[in-house]
Amino acid sequence: MFNIIRHNPILREVDCQETVRCLTMENYEKLLDNAYKNLKQTDSSSGRFEIPQIKGHHEGKKTILTNFFQIASHIRRNPEHFQKFILKELAASGHQDKDRLVLNIKVPSEKINQKIKQYVKEFVLCKECQKPDTELKKQGRLTFLHCLACGAKHPVRAKI
């Protein structure tokens, strides 16, 4: 990087006898370096699909989840499918109460987050490119996860 800049005819006029300028050049390089690093960091973080954390509280022996259906729409999956999976995985029964999901048992949020992550991995993220731009498609008795980003198609559990 440094050499390329030094050999650039325009930049060669930068007078290296002038300490100030050399420092500036060095700083400029560092700046570029940092800018590049920052750029890379932003790229990788924006490329990763963020799963929202579950929000809720306990009411006696029940667990009230307040953003469950928001998460369903965020991951663009059928709320009933999502709910069925989570209830089964948690071995809980539950029902929808307006925009909340009420579970009949007390479950720690970490456990719910873990199950949501599992659902996303199995029914949302493309197995090839890891992107969330997918849809579930039924074909006969089989269900496929079809990726809109790369076109990959993978069978998933039809029954949950």
Q: Which of 14, 152, 156, 160 is close enough to bind Zn ion by CB under 5 A?
A: 152
The answer to the question of residue 71 lying near Zn ion (CB under 5 A) is no
Convert residues 36-65 into a mask of x (bound to Zn ion by CB under 5 A) and - (unbound): ------------------------------
Q: How far is the CB of 123 from Zn ion (least distance, A)?
A: 14
**Half-sphere exposure (CA, 13 Å, Cβ side) for 84?**
10
Q: How far is the CB of 120 from Zn ion (least distance, A)?
A: 14
Distance CA 112, CA 159 (A): 20
Distance CA 33, CA 1 (A): 9
Distance CA 27, CA 34 (A): 10
110-129 residues in contact with Zn ion (CB under 5 A) are 126, 128-129
Q: How far is the CB of 16 from Zn ion (least distance, A)?
A: 51
Q: In what order do the strands lie in the sheet with 134-139?
A: 134-139, 142-147, 153-156
The answer to the question of residue 150 lying near Zn ion (CB under 5 A) is yes
